[in-house]
Structure 1
């Protein structure tokens, strides 16, 4: 006794034509009757294959610009009928409904249409109706019908048919894949439409992704993990081409994303580098060249940079690659890399080089998800940005033009540091970073200590915090933070403002001779 079912009739209707002719030729070679629609049928006929139109089954032509062609009992009865149920067989015989043993369907390219920035009406026309309906019907009846929704499943399908037919385990797996596809499709449509009509908090929210890479483990070896892509065109770790190195790990992907999103804040005009460790920057700088930007970022915290992620905002060149290769680095990501850089890294087999093809737009809208017990949180991406015109000087002392440059630079970096965040910067380079502390004063002290440790290691005559500016991702609740910054040698501070004790904090800055500007914008990052 076997649960293998031979295929006598297959309905094929696909948007993605890859592998189509080869599949149909193999089916026809096994005596399978081919039924098809529209462009699929035309391509099969052009290949010399005998194809029966769906209209022959239904008795109705395709109509309404193809919106109606498969929504008919002759199709859905052929997919849904239980072959071992007498009443179903009687109904099929009474109404002239033939069994469909195999359904091969992939859907209108809705996700690609949206990603291409198509107009609303074009997106609507790319919402498939008949395809999902047939897929769901065939998947429900997997006891008798095989359904294939992805060209990558053509080879195992043909192997099964060559062995005498599809078995139940294989059909179950195909059905599960089919429901994945329709669920992801509906998620894409509902998510797009919520955005199109300005619905920020839809009543129900669905998430979908396509498996890009099974991962060896998650944050720790005892955690299972995988990497999924959402189909968006945002340049970054998901879209990048990996030139060399072993597969990325869960932590590599997370940290690389953090690094590239940070360096993208500076755009492509001025060379910039960000070095990330555990999703926090340990050094960020701009420079006249990429090599200079990297060297200045590295000098912020050489200890933490070991085994870190390096992100660059321009094409990686050989000089910069040689500097990076002097220490162990996990991943380097840049828009591109020249042949010289690739040759340098070729000797570092374990270093992953990713080329993203562009920079993500830091001002673009998007959503961030975080799971909690019993649900998940959704918020818009922190696309907040400020310019000089947005700053409000609140102290008697005015910052200089150079200090304003440093303040805006430090503020940009602080946006990407885990709260509570304190960033010391000088000459558009970080010199000390305090991240992720429960108390802001502790972040202030840690950033100073790191700067002093680095100064000692480099043999500097004075700590880099002397003459530096400081950014705080949120307001200072007490004057003690300002006092600690002044003690470290800082000369100017940028912060959101908004504390109940703002007057006390401003008075402390005036007393200690610091310039202070308020942004009116907070950048918590948890």
Structure 2
């Protein structure tokens, strides 16, 4: 069949961006316009001739506008197959005129539930029914009907109508695909909201939606394609909503590493700096000031921090910026930057500076989604924290107050290191990190070797229990004085015995922190 000429359009939008100009251009082209409620009132006010929806359906809008477009005169005009003789005959018998163009966007459900303390009734009232139904009808029948859900597509469609009087099959197909993405995301957000309201955590089907932030130059490696998405309701204090103040565009690895650094720095209430390479911490320090914290993080591993990702939980000031400027860093993330700090750091052309906002803002309970071939794994985030009261001393010697402080510090870090993981800490800083090893004693040897002489009188944290006493034996050789680990091995007594022989204090947390 020949291309469908656009003669009749139905316009009903909540977001009225650009709609007046678009409707006026359609009117110039001789397109008849049907409209509803507030959209019709706006277009008429602007001098656009509009046919009211009730004039088409022969039925008034009722139920406070809940019912207006759910009518055969609308959906018959959208769903009729134009080259099906029976369809054409039926709509003629019922005085149904085909609709060639649908322009609809939906009630602002996301904006409604984004408001603090929104009432449940208000959220429910902003679930659109007629809009998605019209969109789905038009998109299903996109061979004959052009459907627009995004104001960014007005100009493309208008250009094709102006040139050809119709819209190409390729454009209609692309627009239909966008509609189904849009309605799927809309329904996913509603289902998430209602599921949370009734307290379901892992329902029988798991539907999530994300909004694109940006296309990325490439993925983890140059031969991989990638994009960055964020949750529709993401709050402050995360990399998805951070404001980039300076530097090159973020890469896939930047974002992944930045997220890892941010997760660690959020563990600390005191001023803290975390340096990350390949999602593992290479330096973590806390201090009385953010400058002191940075100095400790730097001293943790002056080699690995080069080219690293830095996360801070306090604003970056002039003195800290001056020291940061001395080395090559990929990213510095912080709640904010002073004007002097910004001026100093912006001298480095490619250094990315991200303003995070409030890191103490509490988002809803987070879930981690990991794709696997043919499916996905979903689990709650590892948000478990411990205090001194949670520790069980299992050795003859109890740790000193200072050792307990360092053990808890090391425990906060080892939680975020790839397993098998060992972290050595001393004087409020990491001094050795053994990450991602196939056996635990191997991770311990790496951490001890990295620490060198600093290992003497340091403490050791392990993300899981010791299946054999060899890790404690390595700790004793290095002069480590205290160990924190989950405990729970059938051979715990072997490790406890070795610790007692060397005067090492050991505590159990009864919590494991595997990270894969």
Report the alpha carbon displacement of residue 363 of structure 1 after superposing the two structures with TM: 8.3
Evaluate the alpha carbon distance shift between residue 471 and residue 173 of structure 1 in structure 2; reply closer, same or farther with a 3 A threshold. same
Counterparts of 1:125-524 in structure 2 under 5 Å? 125-164=125-164, 165-234=166-235, 235-267=237-269, 270-359=270-359, 365-452=365-452, 463-524=453-514
Report the alpha carbon displacement of residue 434 of structure 1 after superposing the two structures with TM: 0.8
Evaluate the alpha carbon distance shift between residue 38 and residue 310 of structure 1 in structure 2; reply closer, same or farther with a 3 A threshold. same
Instruction: Measure the CA separation in 2 of the matches of 1:159 and 1:262.
Output: 51
Evaluate the alpha carbon distance shift between residue 360 and residue 253 of structure 1 in structure 2; reply closer, same or farther with a 3 A threshold. farther
- 1:184 alignment partner, SS class: helix
Which consecutive aligned stretches of 4+ in structure 1 deviate over 4 angstroms post-superposition? 360-364
- 1:192 alignment partner, SS class: helix
Counterpart residue number, 1:28: 27
Q: Deviations over 1:264-285 (max 9, x none)?
A: 1214xx2211101001010111
Q: Deviations over 1:120-179 (max 9, x none)?
A: 333332222211111111111111111111122222222223223311111111011111
Instruction: Measure the CA separation in 1 of the matches of 2:70 and 2:60.
Output: 11
Contact 1:266 1:272 in 2 (8 A): yes
Instruction: Measure the CA separation in 2 of the matches of 1:363 and 1:78.
Output: 45
Evaluate the alpha carbon distance shift between residue 464 and residue 76 of structure 1 in structure 2; reply closer, same or farther with a 3 A threshold. same
Contact 1:363 1:383 in 2 (8 A): no
Instruction: Measure the CA separation in 2 of the matches of 1:471 and 1:53.
Output: 71
Instruction: Measure the CA separation in 2 of the matches of 1:244 and 1:254.
Output: 19
- 1:305 alignment partner, SS class: coil
Counterpart residue number, 2:96: 97
> When the two structures are aligned, how many residues end up with a matched partner?
513
- 2:455 alignment partner, SS class: coil
Instruction: Measure the CA separation in 2 of the matches of 1:466 and 1:364.
Output: 42
Q: Deviations over 1:216-247 (max 9, x none)?
A: 21111111111122213243111111112221
Counterpart residue number, 1:459: none
- 2:398 alignment partner, SS class: coil
Query: Which stretch of the first structure deviates more once superposed, 47-56 or 414-423?
Result: 47-56
Q: Report the aligned-residue RMSD.
A: 2.0
Instruction: Measure the CA separation in 1 of the matches of 2:364 and 2:426.
Output: 29
Evaluate the alpha carbon distance shift between residue 394 and residue 27 of structure 1 in structure 2; reply closer, same or farther with a 3 A threshold. same
Normalising by structure 2, we get a TM-score of 0.94
Gaps of 5+ in 2: none
Instruction: Measure the CA separation in 1 of the matches of 2:119 and 2:444.
Output: 49
Report the alpha carbon displacement of residue 400 of structure 1 after superposing the two structures with TM: 2.1
Evaluate the alpha carbon distance shift between residue 403 and residue 177 of structure 1 in structure 2; reply closer, same or farther with a 3 A threshold. same
- 1:288 alignment partner, SS class: coil
Gaps of 5+ in 1: 453-462
Normalising by structure 1, we get a TM-score of 0.93
The reply to whether residue 42 of structure 1 matches residue 41 of structure 2 is yes
Contact 1:70 1:130 in 2 (8 A): yes
Contact 2:296 2:428 in 1 (8 A): no
